[in-house]
């Protein structure tokens, strides 16, 4: 009986590792798609440039 328990534990462990691996791949794929979509949406003209204010010396969008 103990070899059967060990074998069942090993199979269960492999199933958990396989599930975790597939979940990590899926999450990374979703994150990469979201990152690429965000980069594609941001056009350089939409991002304001900072210009130095001659009076205060602070950088402000301009």
More confident residue, 6 or 47: 6
pLDDT at 39 over 80: no
Give the per-residue pLDDT at 10: 96
Return d(Cα 18, Cα 29) in angstroms, integer. Answer: 17
Return d(Cα 54, Cα 51) in angstroms, integer. Answer: 9
| Whole-number average pLDDT of the chain | 88
Is residue 31 within 8 A of residue 37, CB to CB? The reply is no
More confident residue, 4 or 47: 4
At residue 38 the predicted structure's pLDDT band, cuts being 50, 70 and 90, is confident
Give the per-residue pLDDT at 57: 86
């Amino acid at each position: 009986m103990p070899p059967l328990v060990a074998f069942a534990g090993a199979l269960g462990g492999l199933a958990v590792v396989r599930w975790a691996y597939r979940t990590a791949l899926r999450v990374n794929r979703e994150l990469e798609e979201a990152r690429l979509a965000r980069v594609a949406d941001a056009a350089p003209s939409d991002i304001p440039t900072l210009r130095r204010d001659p009076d205060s010396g602070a950088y402000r969008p301009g």
